[in-house]
Structure 1
Amino acid sequence: MMYRRHLPDAMTLRTQRCLRVIAVLTLALLPVAGLQAASDQDIEVRVKKNGPEVAVDVDCPVNASAAVTWEVLTDYDHMSEFLSDVQHSSVQARDGHTLQVYQKGKAERGLLSITFENLREVELVPYQEIRSRLISGDLKASAFTTRVVDDGTLVHIINSGRYTPKLWVPPVIGPTLIEAETRKHFGELRNEILRRHALRVKAPSASLPPPGKSLASDAPR
């Protein structure tokens, strides 16, 4: 942790704890970050705190194919390349469509720097649904489901689940900050989906990737 020496200790500790909770919850949202960009305002995020539990629901519209959307959501070995708070992400074990995914990252706000990590079990239902639950890490519990829904006009990434953090989440500012961080996180996912979709338009012969694999993992960036 880094902080200005002249800051009151209590203020620094509260800021650190709040930042750590937000960083951990945002990373756990992945079908396993600052002010959101104006272009991300169409991403619907609802955060509700029920006692120690935090519920999050996301609807992220994407003007891309369901195939490329699925590819990015399950490209765990390359997520550190397009998600700003993720330093490392890799598939540790694979049994059919069930994976163990390890991720760690660092969230920075001003002079504060917080590291976090987790190991999750991820069950894939190609090319429709991703179910994720925490095995170990910086939360007491976490379970999320991510669905890829094509309504004929847009693809929607529907993410829904709940966490129980180890640290206290402030009842008002906590959900507000988590909402902003979550919206930015899904905005970064969508940017990568759109980037790859543009490549597919130029190379339409590309086929669906195997579940959990990236069709364009070796494409130049």
Structure 2
Amino acid sequence: MRHALLMLFMCILMRPVLSGELLEYHVNKVDDYFVLHLDMRVKANYRQVNSVLMDFAKMPEVNDTVVESRLLERIGDRHKIFFASEACIWVFCERIEQVAMVTELGQGYIMSNILVEESDLRHGRSLWHLIDEGSTTRVIYDAEYIPDFWVPPLIGSALAREKMLSEGLKTINGMERVIADQRTGQ
């Protein structure tokens, strides 16, 4: 009986299922580089998606793998930001700290370059392209990274690819969740 009541309580508290779409993806490992491409559709308008992406303090709400995120400095359309994330694949867990220069390029493009001297990556850059589709926004994300920490051989590229893909999906749904919460005032 307690189990049934708990399930009923959880169902009442559950939020509606979000419905972002993953249109296309690929994750590859080439030498030391991890290369990621995600083509997604978010059920929110362009202004809302852009606002969430550029609100660096909200990143832990968008994706709970990000445990800390803050703006360090802003110079016009350039933002120096700090991110810390904690990710696990099986029992191997790593806290990854990054400092990046994020630049709003206009026309829906946002570029990020990792400042390697202040980060746990030997290389990292990404490009977001937001495309206004009216009530939805197409988000194309391309990134490449070289970790500056040991990745056990047991964690093959297939597992790393699966983890990167799941983080991309978590981000799509997280953006929609944060936007839905803003709409309802939560």
Higher strand share: 2
Question: What TM-score, normalized to structure 2?
Answer: 0.74
Residue number in structure 1 paired with 2:171: 189
**1:148 to partner: Cα distance:** 0.4
Q: Flag the 1:166–1:61 CA change in 2: closer, same or farther, 3 A.
A: same
Higher RCO by CA contacts (8 Å cutoff, separation 6 or greater): 1
What RMSD, in angstroms, separates the aligned Cα atoms of the two structures? Answer: 3.1
* Conserved? CA contact 2:46–2:133, under 8 Å: no
Match of 1:164 in 2: 146
Instruction: Say yes or no: does 1:86 pair with 2:86.
Output: no
Deviation, structure 1 residue 126? 4.7
**1:134 counterpart (80, 102, 114):** 114
Matching residue of 1:144: 126
Are residue 123 (structure 1) and residue 98 (structure 2) matched? no
Equivalent in the alignment of 2:78: 98
**1:35-94 CA distance string (max 9 Å, x none):** xxxx77735321122222222111111121111111121121121233111111000000
Q: Please, which runs of 5 or more residues in structure 1 have no aligned partner?
A: 1-38, 203-218
Measured after TM superposition, the shift of residue 144 of structure 1 is 1.0
191-200 or 54-63: bigger deviation: 191-200
**What is the CA–CA distance in structure 1 between the aligned matches of 2:103 and 2:142, rounded to whole Å?**
15
| Structure 2: runs of 5 or more not aligned | 1-18
Q: TM-score, normalised by structure 1?
A: 0.63
SS of residue paired to 1:193: helix
Once the 2 structures are TM-superposed, how far is the Cα of residue 151 of structure 1 from its aligned partner?
4.0
Could you tell me the percent identity over the aligned residues? 23
Q: Paired residues, what number? A: 167
In structure 1, how many angstroms separate the alpha carbons of the residues matched to 2:64 and 2:183?
A: 26
SS in 1 for 2:49: helix
What is the CA–CA distance in structure 2 between the aligned matches of 1:146 and 1:134, rounded to whole Å? 14
Does residue 180 (structure 1) correspond to residue 162 (structure 2)? The answer is: yes
Change in Cα spacing, 1:200 to 1:168, as seen in structure 2 (3 Å) is closer
